[in-house]
């Protein structure tokens, strides 16, 4: 990673290259010839893979959209995992546009559970005015943080079996499958909600209706049952290199650059301060 180029930000108030500035907060000197103070790479995997590789010492930081207790449920202890929360995802429920156009604007928590247990199979069982069509219930593959969080939130058990027509390895493919069908329903990561051909629906849970973009009781509401924290896990403490990266994400600048543009909810100031307190003390150069 090169640290070439300078970018002034009100969040950092510096003319240093970003890598030099944030690494410098933890005592790292700029590299020679424009190189960053230290190298790091980012890889794509399921959440379960990320936390496993941190545990096995293969990665320094494991990103996960599910908590480690749900991703690795058979462990006796999670004491050495350090959980750094950097954002929040409020998972929406979505249906094929044809179903939304037919008048479906929301379902209840009990209906959601029945759908994913195979106890409801036709849209007329949700509402008699809906098309007389089989419901195609879709979801993510086991091991994905999106699925783990959904199942844990709905059934209070991350290992609960669900009945779905198809499972997809990526949210993008899942969103496309819902959009290309005329009878599908699914949960989804918030970032993929703008896919043409699908529509979000509300969820009424324990008497409260949560709706996408609602001013009150939106998907960012604290009590929304399908919300999930987005984690960056370290193992057996947090090194200064790891802290330099995580602190970057936790600043106003990092939240604006990495969290908000990807359609996730930024952390409140209080939550960010709580997370920053988990990091080692800064030793600026």
**What's the alpha-carbon Rg for the chain, to the nearest Å?**
21
Q: What angle do CA 39, 22, 6 make, to 5 degrees?
A: 90
Determine the Cα–Cα distance for residues 284 and 22; give it in Å rounded to an integer: 9
pLDDT in tens, 245-273: 999 999 999 999 999 998 888 988 888 99
pLDDT in tens, 215-228: 889 888 879 999 88
Burial class for 151, CB neighbours closer than 10 Å (0-12, 13-18, 19+): buried
Q: Which two tokens stand for residue 19?
A: 């890598």
Domains of the chain and any CATH numbers: 18-89+227-276 (3.40.190.10), 90-210 (3.40.190.10)
pLDDT in tens, 79-134: 999 999 999 888 999 999 999 999 999 999 999 999 999 999 999 999 999 999 99
Q: What is the mean pLDDT of residues 14-26?
A: 92
State yes or no: pLDDT of 176 exceeds 60.
yes
State yes or no: pLDDT of 139 exceeds 80.
yes
Contact 96/130 with Cβ under 8 angstroms? no
State yes or no: pLDDT of 2 exceeds 70.
no
Q: What is the pLDDT of residue 14?
A: 80
Question: Phi then psi for 166, rounded to 5 degrees?
Answer: -150, 150
Q: What is the pLDDT of residue 97?
A: 98
Q: What is the pLDDT of residue 89?
A: 87
pTM exceeds cut of 0.85 = no
**Percent of the chain residues past pLDDT 70, beyond the cut:** 95
Crossing angle of helices 145-155 and 109-116, in 10° steps, is 120
Q: What is the mean pLDDT of residues 196-201?
A: 98
Strand 208-210 with 198-205, pairing? antiparallel
Nearest Cα to 112, choosing from 53, 54, 78, 153? Answer: 153
């Amino acid at each position: 990673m090169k640290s070439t180029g300078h970018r002034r930000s009100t969040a950092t108030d510096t003319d240093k290259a970003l890598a030099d500035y944030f690494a410098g907060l933890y005592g790292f000197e700029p590299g020679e010839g424009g190189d960053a103070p230290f190298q790091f790479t980012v890889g794509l995997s399921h959440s379960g893979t990320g936390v496993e590789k941190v545990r096995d010492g293969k990665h320094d930081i494991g990103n996960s959209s599910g908590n480690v207790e749900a991703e690795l449920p058979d462990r006796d202890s999670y004491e050495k995992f350090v959980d750094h929360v950097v954002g929040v995802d409020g998972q929406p429920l979505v249906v094929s546009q044809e179903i939304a156009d037919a008048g479906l604007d929301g379902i209840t928590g009990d209906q959601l559970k029945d759908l994913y247990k195979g106890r409801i199979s036709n849209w007329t069982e949700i509402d008699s005015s809906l098309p007389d069509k089989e419901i195609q219930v879709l979801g993510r593959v086991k091991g994905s943080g999106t699925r783990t969080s959904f199942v844990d939130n709905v059934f209070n058990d991350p290992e609960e079996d669900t009945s779905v027509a198809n499972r997809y390895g990526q949210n993008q493919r899942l969103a496309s499958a819902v959009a290309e069908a005329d009878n599908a329903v699914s949960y989804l990561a918030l970032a993929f909600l703008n896919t043409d051909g699908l529509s979000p629906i509300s969820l009424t849970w324990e008497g409260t209706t949560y709706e996408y973009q609602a001013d009150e009781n939106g998907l960012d509401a604290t009590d929304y049952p399908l919300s999930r924290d987005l984690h960056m896990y370290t193992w057996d403490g947090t090194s200064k290199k790891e802290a330099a990266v995580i602190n970057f994400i936790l600043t106003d600048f990092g939240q604006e650059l990495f969290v908000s543009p990807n359609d996730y909810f930024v952390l409140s100031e209080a939550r960010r301060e709580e997370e920053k307190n988990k990091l080692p003390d800064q030793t600026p150069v």
